[in-house]
Chains A and B, each alone.
Chain A
Amino acid sequence: MSGPLGRRFDVVVVGAGVLGCAIAAELAQTALSVCVLEAAPDVAEGASKANAGITSSFYAPPPSIECELIGESNDGWEELCGRLNVPYRRIGALTVAFDDDGVRGLDELETQVRAAGVKVERVTGEQARRHEPLLTDECIDALYYPDEGIIDPVRLTWAYAELAALNGAELRFRAPVLDVARDGDGRLSAVVTPEDRIACRYVVNAAGIGSGALSALAGGEEIRMWPRKGQYWILDRDFGQTLSRIVLPVPTPTTRGIEVAPTTNGSVLLGPDAEEGGDAEDRSTSAGNLRKIFAETQRLVPTVSLDRAIKTYAGSRPAADEPVRLRFDARVDNLIHAGNRSTGVSTSPAFGRRVKALLADRGENTAARPDRVTSLPPVPRVLLEADPVTVLDRRPGDAMVVCVCEQVTAAEITAAVTSAVPARSIEGVRKRCRATGGRCQGSICMAGVILLTANAHGIDPGQVGMGPGGGSVGCG
């Protein structure tokens, strides 16, 4: 045990990914005091960022906790995203077959989906092309899921974090858990970060790919997790406006497959592939993988074109021996595991409520505080307004467009850098409001974004963060 004694919290949540933040948002609305510890410099720096931005209506067949959690989450997206200003659209998805093997795969899938009670339609190739005119003529048979949606997974994570912070939760970044303290009964009594020692009554392990290490540190059960790297192309909004549905191949046992998916900001994702066993920190893209991803998506939607590519990226989703963990540890009495290897975004609303229920079962008072905050103040977004003339000029900067490609105003950037969980890096600004994320990738607006960020935090422009690893703009 080391480090100065810091504050005492009822619950320490380890990990500021989509699950950690969803849980913190839920618990912070009760009388429990909550602290979120994140090793990275910002929210959503792990799997939540490497995610394709899809809210699934179906993933795993029943009976399974994953199936239950998706069911508990999927009806509420419109209400939740409305409250939290998270871009969301229920656009529907098509799983498409090209040949007899694919048709047999669809048969099996259809049985599972129907058993789960999820809305699905078996459609012919012809009907599928009516749902998505860009779909290949090669498609002979398909499943159409009307309840699948697209969401901005990073905005969702940030919104949960904001809601948690506005309800009094403390969020600490660059705060990895280095050690834990246990009482005589083996219960966790504190966690140790580089800065201090934080006393707590419960620890929620939402550390994503780091969950296994945290559980080992806490003396908990063995969690086997390994990184599954995926790469993506992003195509521009001009192409995006022609695509209306998520298009996927028939899934394999390890992956949902390389898909073509519209995003909530109008661009299109191609990917991800699945590469196991590398370094969880590895975010590098490679020509070989990306060429293969492009070829596979071209088979689904022949009009995809690399002339429309604005960015490539890679991220790591955790693969695990147990797909979804949502329960108390078998050995450590006050350690809750909250992990999901694939459908973290899709199950995040249910995770928050279920963790609250686990604590209620232990006799904790989890009633909602009457003074709790349940929604976030809206920030007008030019890009999402059909006629932005009507929403502008409420505040200074509303009418000043900084990032032209993504139509982001100075007001939106200012909101991103001055919020409860503010952006401190170019990446952080892009994640919150899309500035620098468009066709020119910040060629025009990045200097402005750097200065607005530096001004908001009273730091030198060279100190503004750049890239996910925590490096900064300046050097030498």
Chain B
Amino acid sequence: MGAGLAGLAAALELAAHAEVELVERLPAAGGSWQFDHPAVRDLVGRCDRAGVRLTMGVTALRWIERRLLLIGPGTRAWREADHLVFAGGTRPATPAELPLFGARVAGVFAGTVAHHLMEAHIALGRHLAVCGSGYWADLVLAEAPSHARVTVVGGDVPASPRVAAAWPGYAPVEVRGRDRVEQLVIERDGHARAIDCDCVVLAADQRPIRNVDGAITATPDVTYVQLCADTLTPDAVVDHAIATVAGLHGRNST
């Protein structure tokens, strides 16, 4: 499940030993790497030749007793399978996971969402507090409008000229504001300070996406292929995927 680089690499690795179907929620392979990334195109071609069944544009929702529920335009079915390989990608930690407490106000976005909206030229604020460094933070920094002042909290100090201030080693702990975020309280070693901002982007602490009921936590018939790291290269993702599924065909050969 998941036709990003990890899912494609895992499917190809397993195809020599088993019948493999690769299910993808979006209508094309590639995931965050996008459909026309050379590594994606290469793996899609090789999966095709290796007999992997590519099912794109269909969402897997439940994994119950070795049956996977698939739903999408024109496809509504239960697929029987011996094993689920879950390559569902990663996302930044949510406020509850960080944990970040305080006011529930407009202007606090997951890095994934902030990036989509900024790319669409929706102005999210004049003073952005970006928490964390790495993939999503970089995307947000690249899209941040030139008039916006950017403060980075935690993570490594990014080299980007877009960053006006940085607080490495600090963690966001509290959101303040009435209708919209007005301040983000950050903390390091018990020292707290409040940063003025009208937008908070949560891009820290990568977590595996887990959204298939029955495959949220480890069971013997599910393997997760989700490399959680701040910076990822195609090679690292592919190598991790191959290494993770390497032992699987032996285990399921019965």
Cβ–Cβ contact B61 & A476, under 8 A: no
Shortest C-beta distance, A99 to chain B (Å), equals 32
The answer to whether A473 and B117 touch (CB under 8 A), given A287-B173, A393-B76, is yes
Q: Which of B77, B95, B102, B199 contacts A475 (CB 8 A)?
A: B199
- Which label, helix, strand, loop or mixed, suits the secondary structure of the A interface? loop
The B-contacting residues of A in range 270-298, CB under 8 angstroms, are 281, 283-287, 290
**Chain B contacts of A283 at CB under 8 A?**
103-104
The answer to whether A447 and B117 touch (CB under 8 A), given A461-B122, A471-B106, is yes
Q: Which of B69, B101, B112, B117 contacts A444 (CB 8 A)?
A: B112
A359 in the interface (beta carbon within 8 A): no
The B-contacting residues of A in range 340-398, CB under 8 angstroms, are 382, 388-389, 392-393
Cβ–Cβ contact B123 & A476, under 8 A: yes
The answer to whether A286 and B112 touch (CB under 8 A), given A399-B72, A461-B117, A473-B124, is no
* Segment among B161-169, B207-215, B227-235 that sits at the interface with chain A: B207-215
The answer to whether A399 and B106 touch (CB under 8 A), given A309-B97, A440-B94, is no
Q: Which of A306, A404, A447 contacts B211 (CB 8 A)?
A: A404
B71 in the interface (beta carbon within 8 A): yes
* Segment among A66-74, A104-112, A135-143, A462-470 that sits at the interface with chain B: A462-470
B92 in the interface (beta carbon within 8 A): yes
Chain B's closest residue to A287 (CB) is B101
Cβ–Cβ contact B94 & A401, under 8 A: no
Cβ–Cβ contact B113 & A401, under 8 A: no
The A-contacting residues of B in range 178-229, CB under 8 angstroms, are 178-180, 198-199, 209-213, 216-217
Q: Which of A382, A400, A474 contacts B122 (CB 8 A)?
A: A474
B78 in the interface (beta carbon within 8 A): yes
**Chain B contacts of A462 at CB under 8 A?**
122-123
Cβ–Cβ contact A399 & B76, under 8 A: yes
B73 in the interface (beta carbon within 8 A): yes
**Chain A contacts of B116 at CB under 8 A?**
447
**Chain A contacts of B106 at CB under 8 A?**
465-467, 469, 471-473, 475
**Chain B contacts of A221 at CB under 8 A?**
none
Q: Mark B121-157, 1 if CB is under 8 A from A, else 0.
A: 0111110000000000000000000011000000000
Q: How far is B208's CA from A440's CA once the two chains are assembled, in angstroms?
A: 10
Cβ–Cβ contact A443 & B180, under 8 A: no
Cβ–Cβ contact A310 & B101, under 8 A: no
A313 in the interface (beta carbon within 8 A): yes
Q: Which of A404, A405, A467 contacts B25 (CB 8 A)?
A: A404
Cβ–Cβ contact A443 & B76, under 8 A: no
The B-contacting residues of A in range 436-476, CB under 8 angstroms, are 438-444, 446-447, 450, 460-462, 465-476
B20 in the interface (beta carbon within 8 A): no
Q: How far is B97's CA from A236's CA once the two chains are assembled, in angstroms?
A: 12
A85 in the interface (beta carbon within 8 A): no
Cβ–Cβ contact B124 & A237, under 8 A: no
Q: How far is B174's CA from A441's CA once the two chains are assembled, in angstroms?
A: 18
Cβ–Cβ contact A312 & B96, under 8 A: yes
Chain A's closest residue to B92 (CB) is A443
Shortest C-beta distance, B20 to chain A (Å), equals 22
Q: How far is B105's CA from A465's CA once the two chains are assembled, in angstroms?
A: 10
B55 in the interface (beta carbon within 8 A): no
Q: How far is B92's CA from A422's CA once the two chains are assembled, in angstroms?
A: 30
Cβ–Cβ contact B104 & A471, under 8 A: no
Q: How far is B106's CA from A475's CA once the two chains are assembled, in angstroms?
A: 9
**Chain B contacts of A234 at CB under 8 A?**
96
A311 in the interface (beta carbon within 8 A): yes
The A-contacting residues of B in range 74-130, CB under 8 angstroms, are 74-78, 91-92, 94-97, 99, 101-107, 109-110, 112-113, 116-117, 120, 122-126
Cβ–Cβ contact A284 & B104, under 8 A: yes
**Chain B contacts of A475 at CB under 8 A?**
106-107, 123-126, 180, 198-199
Q: How far is B178's CA from A404's CA once the two chains are assembled, in angstroms?
A: 30
A407 in the interface (beta carbon within 8 A): yes
Q: Mark A399-421, 1 if CB is under 8 A from B, else 0.
A: 11100110100000000000000
A322 in the interface (beta carbon within 8 A): no
Q: How far is B75's CA from A392's CA once the two chains are assembled, in angstroms?
A: 10
**Chain A contacts of B217 at CB under 8 A?**
238
The answer to whether A442 and B110 touch (CB under 8 A), given A473-B117, A474-B122, is yes
Chain B's closest residue to A282 (CB) is B103
Cβ–Cβ contact A444 & B91, under 8 A: yes
Cβ–Cβ contact B103 & A238, under 8 A: no
**Chain B contacts of A382 at CB under 8 A?**
61, 71
> Which of B73, B78, B148: most chain A CB closer than 10 A?
B73
**Chain A contacts of B198 at CB under 8 A?**
475-476
Q: Mark A306-325, 1 if CB is under 8 A from B, else 0.
A: 10011111100000000000
**Chain B contacts of A310 at CB under 8 A?**
94, 96
Cβ–Cβ contact A473 & B122, under 8 A: yes
Shortest C-beta distance, B108 to chain A (Å), equals 8
**Chain A contacts of B113 at CB under 8 A?**
442-443, 446-447
Cβ–Cβ contact A443 & B110, under 8 A: yes
The B-contacting residues of A in range 223-238, CB under 8 angstroms, are 233-234, 236-238
Q: Which of B25, B69, B123 contacts A474 (CB 8 A)?
A: B123
Cβ–Cβ contact A439 & B210, under 8 A: yes
Chain B's closest residue to A402 (CB) is B59
Chain A's closest residue to B176 (CB) is A284
Q: How far is B75's CA from A286's CA once the two chains are assembled, in angstroms?
A: 45
**Chain B contacts of A285 at CB under 8 A?**
101-102, 104
Cβ–Cβ contact A444 & B209, under 8 A: yes
**Chain A contacts of B99 at CB under 8 A?**
287, 290, 306, 309, 312
Chain B's closest residue to A393 (CB) is B76
Q: Which of A238, A440, A472 contacts B209 (CB 8 A)?
A: A440
Shortest C-beta distance, B65 to chain A (Å), equals 13
> What are the 10 A-B residue pairs with the smallest beta carbon separation, nearest first?
A471-B106, A469-B179, A466-B106, A447-B116, A471-B179, A238-B216, A443-B110, A471-B180, A476-B126, A467-B106
11 chain-A/chain-B pairs, Cβ below 8 angstroms:
A284-B103, A287-B99, A382-B61, A404-B59, A407-B61, A447-B113, A471-B105, A471-B179, A473-B117, A475-B123, A475-B180
In the complex, besides A400-B72, A471-B107, 17 extra interface pairs with C-beta distance below 8 angstroms are A236-B216, A238-B216, A283-B104, A306-B99, A312-B96, A312-B101, A388-B71, A389-B69, A404-B59, A407-B213, A440-B94, A441-B110, A442-B110, A467-B107, A475-B125, A476-B123, A476-B198
User: Which residues in A have some Cβ–Cβ distance to B below 8 Å?
Assistant: 233-234, 236-238, 281, 283-287, 290, 306, 309-314, 382, 388-389, 392-393, 399-401, 404-405, 407, 438-444, 446-447, 450, 460-462, 465-476
